[in-house]
A = this chain, B = another copy of it.
Amino acid sequence: MKRPTIADIARRAGVTKSTVSFALNDRPGVSAATRDRILDIAREMGWQPSRVARALSGGRAGVLGLVVDRPARTLGIEPFFMQLISGIEGELAARDVALLLQMAEDGQTQVAAYRRWWAERRVDGVFLVDLRVDDERIGLLAELGLPAIVIGGPDGLGGLPGVWNDETEAVRSVVEYLAALGHRRIARVAGPPELRHTTARGAAFEAAAGALGLTTLSASTDYTGEEGARATRRLLAAPEPPTAIVYDNDVMALAGLGVAGEMGVPVPGRLSIVAWDDSVLCRLVHPPLTAVGVDIASYGAEVARRLLDLVAGHPVESGCHAAPVLTPRGSTGPAPSGS
């Protein structure tokens, strides 16, 4: 099956390519009669513009790119990215913009991916996720002049616009919630320390706990369930184990619940569990996990809208998307009286 081009339309309408182009793009310089005739013919022939040709003639490619750098074994299971992509997608599909996805194992590959996309003129703009402490991507994108929006923030954006969720408040509400239940020793199983995200949340956690005079413990992980399980095992085996653990993602919280079950530690009897990144996963297990999080899909949608604006040439400023909400469920309860 062959695709009609504007030249085909022009031939049938008895005009030139340029007139067809003007008519199809609703630009002045074409009489109403001619315009209608051209539109009719285009519709009848089932014409659709070639994005490739449009992109070449200086127009936009109609493609945005996202590089995800977490290891595949984590990604497969963490709902966050799929939710995020789903939200982004919804916004893009409505405007006939496509999403290019790449998974990169390490930061170097990731930088290379952005650079290649730019050099090959594949994308009009990119999303930046999982900002690191000294992120070389920031400088790269600024240098290339590739429109980009940072998912996360508000610090370290280096001039790039970003969208984030205000976690300070949420962290405090979680800590206060646990303190109100009588917990005095609380632990945090954190994500990779090289992520800005992790350190910011960690600082808020320490500050909130300190303000209430709580003792804190913490462990760093790579976000995988395995490391979440290992960290939990170590925390619970300590002479003075924590009575509550906050996990930096839902997968690790799930793993923590599994370890507690395996070690015979009742939840929430002797251990309370809180998951960051609320997702369906948290509601499926028994007991269901108390969790804190935002609607990730709407987060993705907002980020997508801003990047579309940016690509369109409109000024875009950074902003907060939402404050995460704490949803108490069965995995948290009063601290054991013995401790």
Contact = CB atoms under 8 A, between A and B. Distances in A.
A195 interface: no
A79 interface: yes
Tell which of A144, A258, A284, A286 has the most Cβ of chain B within 10 Å.
Answer: A284
Total copies of this chain within the assembly = 2
Tell which of A72, A96, A113, A262 has the most Cβ of chain B within 10 Å.
Answer: A72
Nearest to A285: B258
Contact of A86 (B46, B76, B100, B122): B76
Nearest to A262: B286
Nearest to A224: B280
A116 B3 CA distance: 11
A226 B226 CA distance: 25
A261 B261 CA distance: 11
Interface stretch (A7-15, A50-58, A202-210): A50-58
Chain A interface size, as a band, is: 35 or more
16 contacts: A51-B120, A52-B120, A52-B122, A72-B82, A72-B86, A72-B297, A76-B80, A76-B279, A77-B79, A77-B279, A82-B82, A89-B102, A93-B102, A93-B103, A96-B116, A259-B286
A85 interface: yes
Interface in A277-294: 279-281, 283-288
Interface string A59-103: 001010000000011011101111101100110010010111111
A32 interface: no
Contact of A225 (B49, B56, B283, B296): B283
Contacts of A3: 118-119, 121
A283 B254 CA distance: 10
A284 B255 contact: yes
